[in-house]
Amino acid sequence: MMNDGSSSSSSSTKVETDVLVDETYFSALFDYDEVFPISDENYATELHLQEALFSSIVASTGGVNHHPQVQRNLVTRVKQEPEIKTENEPTEPSRRFCRICMDEKPSSDIFRGTTSCTHSYCTDCTVRYVATKIKENAARIKCPDVECTHLIEPYTCRDLIPKDVFDRWEKILCESLISSWDKFYCPFKDCSAMMVNDEGGNANVTQTECPSCHRLFCVQCKVTWHAGIGCDEFQRFGNTKKKSSDDEDALLIQMAKNKQWRRCPSCKFYVDKVEGCQHINCRCGYQFCYGCGSVWASSHACQIRY
């Protein structure tokens, strides 16, 4: 029993001595770079070597890494490790060139609206560009670069453009997702709110209320509500008025031909160009050349002049 107690006491003393020895070793190991400074280019190699030595010692001593002092030294060492930077690591330039206003702006003032291209434009110019496109009813707005097809993400502009302009952009985006066959508009000219036909053309649905202006209109006839008159009777009455309307349309068409007005290839709406370039952005969103009527492209060079 005495021998066992002596053996146990001796073993305990040996473990404590090993811990102290290892702690002393690690202390010297952790402070090695202060005693023997190493260059930055060899720092990574030296760090890997130290990690390998530490793993080897932990495996051989077993339990040393649980010693409180050793753990504190490890945590302190990790916190004090400097960030390794390579000499060839690119740095962000302090100023960038805006290709719209042709001026150099601080990098902090450069708009980051696309994640797929690297074209640089200042925030002020980009905001004005986006606002102009929204006024043209453009649902998807691409990078201002003529040859770039990447789109500007709406969420990147939310805090930059006026709220009413952004709300209009959201409305245009929503409308662009709905088929032209499934949507119709309030017949009142001072409203023209868009609605979705979720009845699938059900002829039994006639009277409805515009959710925007709260006035009644006929879904089937697409006119203000004809109280006391059925749709068939109203349409027959409309055909009587149609002749005079057709005469007016004929006069308009003749005037359009005389003045050489162009018609939008998409919605057939007449367009009269008063001044400016040949690029026409129709109210339906279709873009075409006023000279030849072809779809507009940045590389288009029309030879016809109006």
Q: Lowest mean pLDDT: which of 17-31, 138-152, 211-225?
A: 17-31
Instruction: Grade residue 84 by pLDDT with cuts at 50, 70 and 90.
Output: low
Any residues with CB less than 8 A from the CB of 93 and at least 6 apart, and which?
Answer: 107
Instruction: Grade residue 269 by pLDDT with cuts at 50, 70 and 90.
Output: confident
C-alpha–C-alpha distance, residues 58 and 247, integer Å:
100
pTM of the model: 0.44
What pLDDT was estimated at residue 59?
A: 55
How many CB atoms sit inside 10 A of residue 171's CB? 15
pLDDT at 114 over 80: no
C-alpha–C-alpha distance, residues 198 and 215, integer Å:
19
For range 268-272, the mean pLDDT = 84
Among left, alpha and beta (phi > 0; psi -120 to 50; other), residue 260 is: left
Cβ 83 vs Cβ 61: under 8 Å = no
* Average pLDDT along the chain: 72
For range 105-124, the mean pLDDT = 82
Q: Provide the b/e sequence for 67-96 (b: ≥16 CB within 10 Å).
A: beebeebeeeeeeeeeeeeeeeeeeeeeeb
What pLDDT was estimated at residue 248?
A: 60
pLDDT at 284 over 80: no
pLDDT for 95-108, tens place per residue? 888 888 888 888 88
Cβ 266 vs Cβ 242: under 8 Å = no
Q: How far is CA 275 from the centre of its chain?
A: 34
pLDDT for 234-263, tens place per residue? 777 665 555 555 566 677 777 888 888 888
Backbone phi, then psi, for 145, in 5-degree steps?
-60, 135
Please tell me whether residue 217 adopts helix, strand or coil conformation.
strand
For range 33-60, the mean pLDDT = 58
- Which residues are registered as beta bridge partners of 272? none
- Could you write out the DSSP letters of every residue in 24-57? HHHHHHHTHHHHS---GGGHHHHHHHHHHHHHHH
C-alpha–C-alpha distance, residues 69 and 83, integer Å:
25
What pLDDT was estimated at residue 130?
A: 92
pLDDT for 186-237, tens place per residue? 888 888 888 887 766 565 678 888 888 999 988 888 888 877 778 887 777 6
What pLDDT was estimated at residue 129?
A: 92
Domains and CATH numbers, the chain: 2-80 (no CATH), 95-176 (3.30.40.10), 180-252 (no CATH), 260-306 (no CATH)
C-alpha–C-alpha distance, residues 268 and 182, integer Å:
20
What pLDDT was estimated at residue 5?
A: 46
Q: Which residue has the tokens 């003529």?
A: 146
